[in-house]
Amino acid sequence: MLQIRSVEVRDYLNLQSSGEVLNSLAAVGAMTEKVFYSGNVEKIKRKWFIAEKQALLITNKAIYSLIGKAREIKRRSLLSSLQKIVIGRQLSCQQFILFFTEGSVAYDQHYASQNVTEVVRIIHSAQNLSNLSPTPFTMQEEKDLKKFRIPKREIAVHTSLVRTYSESGEEVDLSSFEVLKLLGTGATAKVFLVRKKSTENYYAMKTILKETVIANQQAERTRSERQILEILHHPYLVTLRYAFQTENKLFIVLDYLSGGELFFHLKEANRFDEDRTRFYAAQIVLGIGHLHSLGIVYRDLKPENILLDHEGHVKITDFGLAKSIMKPSTIRRIRESFVGTPEYIAPEVLRSCAQGRAVDWWSLGSMIYEMLYGLPPFYDPDPTTVYKKTLFQTLEFPPSFSATAKHLLSQLLERDQDKRLGGGLRDADEIKEHPFFASVDWTALFSREISAPFVPIIKTADDVGNFDTQFTSERIRESMTVTGERKYVQRADNRFAGFYYSPTTPASSHVI
């Protein structure tokens, strides 16, 4: 992906040097943000759609509505939460609506400005700079814009409301893709390399048998995975591209990460040095920290669920066990029968105690240990023995571990979740401040400006050389191919209502 390292600045109101604005930014912890755009706009208010004078400020992180002479911040919305832009067709002072999602909350901001084209261009440039996908936009008749606004009574609703506006009306199903190779299998799903016929783009397509999901009473978990994926926009989390279903299967289409699983490369190398381990761990900290900020606990962190892209950066995938359990600013916990992979399950899960986001930091500790040593800290071929060791065995370190690595692991692999590093309200920030990560420039890392210590060998866009040949050599079954005019039609199935997703298709027309 092209990395834009600079943005054409249009600070028409000179807010970068405004003391009032700097104070306002400092008050929300954003003093270091760079101003890319500032200009006067008219805020179209919901009641009678009257206009109110405001200032629009765009930085490298967020979009601000400023009011009054003191430029007080009325609203701050992250660029990563911007999902759709609808622009009115008018040559003079164009109206436009920005649609945002924050966790399970959806809202919009309706403005009018003579600089709409410039505003959208700078938003896209700022998003590219942060390695975010540019938010799609669509044109509509200005007289119809009020129909697109989210009703105030429905602002705190499911985020699919912001995706009901079509750019091209494209619909996808299994016939839209050519299935090429099997990439991996799990307990209830298989993942295939596919090529989208209309664009020639490559994706990873996860297929899930409805029969298995229902038999295992995992329908709610599957619906949750699909919903969580839709709200994720982060450089180290995989991106949802499409979702659809047939009579017997569910399909989730994601980015194809041709670098393969971290597990594959760890097995090849046996172990990683500390610098390479630190690089992967730091990117995972950013990804998991973002999930926690949305109130989501991942619960399945392991090398098999970490993929590398073509540049060697990580992406966390497989959100089948992820769960929304808390408000971002609190430590809410749940009681649930334990889930996860034995070597990475936290003690509180094994004890069936109340559990929260600290379970992910235990798993991170197990992963860091494994990357440095080649095996997890409490490994045993017998899962029951792993559970006993996790609960009772003293944590031991090989002589090759540095003092800072030992200290970090002793804090992450703390059996008391209240004392565990990252277990407090500050979450990921506690881990980022540990001496093990002292050399990490977190801002540059988030922007992917730090080169990976290892770049996978990738010969072509559809290269599967970084995946296990046990899977890639398997023959594709006839049920996964669509030939001639044969076309898979979506089936009405209320157990998976609203599963369909396409970024350019009205979601409301696919609620089945």
- Please, which residues have CB within 8 angstroms of residue 121's CB and are 6 or more apart in sequence? 8
- Please, which residues have CB within 8 angstroms of residue 362's CB and are 6 or more apart in sequence? 344, 345, 346, 347, 412, 413, 417, 420
- Tell me whether residue 406 is annotated as binding: no
Count of Cβ atoms closer than 10 Å to residue 170 Cβ: 14
Burial of 268 (0-12, 13-18, 19+ CB in 10 A): exposed
| Alpha-carbon span 305 to 470, nearest angstrom | 18
| Alpha-carbon span 419 to 412, nearest angstrom | 9
Burial of 504 (0-12, 13-18, 19+ CB in 10 A): middle
Q: What three-state secondary structure class fits 74?
A: strand
Provide Rg for the chain, Cα atoms: 24
Sign (positive/negative) of CA torsion 390, 394, 399, 403? Answer: positive
Return the ∠ at Cα 458 (arms to 452 and 461), rounded to 5°.
115
| Alpha-carbon span 455 to 285, nearest angstrom | 20
| Alpha-carbon span 59 to 22, nearest angstrom | 12
Return the ∠ at Cα 304 (arms to 299 and 309), rounded to 5°.
110
| Alpha-carbon span 319 to 360, nearest angstrom | 13
Identify which of 252, 235, 224 has the alpha carbon closest to the alpha carbon of residue 325: 224
Cβ–Cβ under 8 Å, residues 466 and 265 = yes
- 300 counts as catalytic: yes
Q: Is 427 left (phi over 0), alpha (psi -120 to 50) or beta?
A: left
Strands 72-78 and 306-308, by their bridges, are unpaired
| Alpha-carbon span 230 to 217, nearest angstrom | 22
Cβ–Cβ under 8 Å, residues 492 and 502 = no
Q: What three-state secondary structure class fits 66?
A: strand
Identify which of 110, 83, 49 has the alpha carbon closest to the alpha carbon of residue 230: 83
Q: How many residues does the chain have?
A: 512
Q: Which of 108, 144, 173, 300 is catalytic?
A: 300
Cite the annotated binding site by residue number: 210
Question: Where in the sequence numbering do the catalytic residues fall?
Answer: 300
